[in-house]
Amino acid sequence: MIWFFIFLSCLWDPGRLGCERQCHSEIEAKRGQNQPIVINTWPFTVATKAAWEIVHSGGKATVAVVAGCSACEKLQCDGTVGFGGSPDDKGDTSLDALLMDGDSMDVGAVANLRMTKDAIQAARLVLELTSHSILAGNEASNFATELGLPYWDTLATNSSTNEYQEWKSGNCQPNFFKKGTVAPNPSLSCGPYVPLHESGLAYANMKSKESESLVRSHDTISMIAVDRQGRLACGSSTNGLKHKIAGRVGDAAIPGGGCYADSRVGACAATGDGDIHVRFLPCYQAVENMRNGKSAQEATDDAMRRIIDKLGHKSGFQGAIVAYDIVNGKIGSTRIGNNFNFSYTYQTEDGLHTVAVPPLEDQCVILKVNKK
């Protein structure tokens, strides 16, 4: 058995939308009938392998997604998944995670989780043991520990604490308060802040500084898995944005934002600016696009183009989605802004391949893995 991974990547060019890359129109992956598949954002191959082991041995897609995301949580992938990363403006680490069953359309999610390291496992408990969809905050942590997950006083580490202290010593720059809304001036000083009256001063915009400083804050792991029975599932896990306002919830806990799955149609996984994704739900849109007859590539292009059409190319938005069309066996992927990678795996003898993701305005890659 030889693992087959496809990594899509290109170098980020901060001066314009897009990057230098080679583009391939279609790839035959020769996936056999009833063969499972695992797809995830970023080249987190340990996570891909962990999920693959489950579906390859006949396990359920939901269990595979949990295994894959859990692997990344334990490894603290890129510092943006799991404990000890992305301290908020109080110095704490919090986690968001989502698990969706594409057969039943059931969802389990946790948000602003602070005393449990196993975010995707907690999301699984919500999905499998309750009639709810999302639990948040300390109550979500209490729920998880009452049902057997380990309790931790804090998810911060020495590394994240040092990062927080450096941020504080730099006058809390950057942060996420809008210009002209609070005092003291959030572009110059730390809080605590108080709201300004309507006649208050408007402060300088710090958008460009935000986008430069927080570019590495978007590496959410989102995963899609199909098992041997054709069941489809997806999941997401992240510790969110660095220096976010404490209590913030991103797309990784929101169905349609971080991921979305319907076993009759396909699934989508996202990474990027979670606050924007929550407003546009690009993964929900991509799956609905496939339901309405668009190819996987057309579906992701359209979902991301809707964001740019509304916000404009100079908005600083960065994000990417990857979608799997289970009916036609194709993968589509579209990104805006920073470089984006995804990997997928199944049994083959073709070896290792690398393909670059082109920008939205050019033709994007479609990977054909045969019909289910």
Beta strands (DSSP E) in 239-329 are 259-262, 266-272, 319-325
Let me know if residue 145 belongs to a domain: yes
Which residue segment(s) compose the domain that 304 sits in? 2-154+214-368
The answer to whether position 10 is within a domain reads yes
User: Does 183 map to a domain?
Assistant: no
Asked whether residue 6 is domain-assigned, the answer is yes
Question: Of 116, 68, 85, 123, which is closest to residue 238 (Cα–Cα)?
Answer: 85
What pLDDT, on a 0 to 100 scale, did the predictor assign at position 218?
56
Give the CATH number for residue 327.
Answer: 3.60.20.30
Residue pLDDT tens, the chain, 372 long: 333 333 333 323 322 223 323 333 333 334 555 678 888 888 788 888 899 889 989 999 999 999 999 999 998 888 889 888 889 999 999 999 999 999 999 999 999 999 999 999 999 999 999 999 999 999 999 999 999 999 999 999 999 999 999 999 999 999 999 888 999 999 999 999 999 864 345 444 444 344 444 444 557 899 999 999 999 999 999 988 999 999 999 999 999 999 999 999 999 999 999 999 999 999 999 999 999 999 999 999 999 999 999 998 778 888 999 999 999 888 888 888 877 777 776 555 453 333 334 555 444 444 455 444
* Measured distance CA(213)–CA(306) in Å, rounded: 26
**What are the distances in angstroms from CA 129 to CA 150, 173, 181, 216, 261?**
18, 42, 42, 35, 20
What pairing do the DSSP bridges indicate for beta strands 26-28 and 366-368?
Answer: parallel
Query: What is the tally of structural domains in the chain?
Result: 1
Q: Measured between alpha carbons, how far is 250 from 248 in angstroms, rounded to an integer?
A: 7
Query: Can you name the residues that pair with 194 across neighbouring β-strands?
Result: 183
For residue 132, count other CB atoms closer than 10 A to its CB: 12
Question: What's the pLDDT at 315?
Answer: 84
Residue 180 lies in a domain: no
Entry pTM = 0.84
Cα–Cα nearest to 270, from 224, 216, 225, 307: 224
- Distance, C-alpha 112 to centroid of its chain: 15
Closest CA to 234 of 250, 254, 216, 218: 254
pLDDT at 176: 93
165 inside domain: no
Tell me the catalytic residues. 220
Cβ neighbors of 104 (< 8 A, separation 6 or more) are none
Assess if residue 241 is contained within a domain. Answer: yes
b/e map of 254-286 (b: 16 or more CB within 10 Å)? bbbbbbbbbbebbbbbbbbbbbbbbebbbbbbb
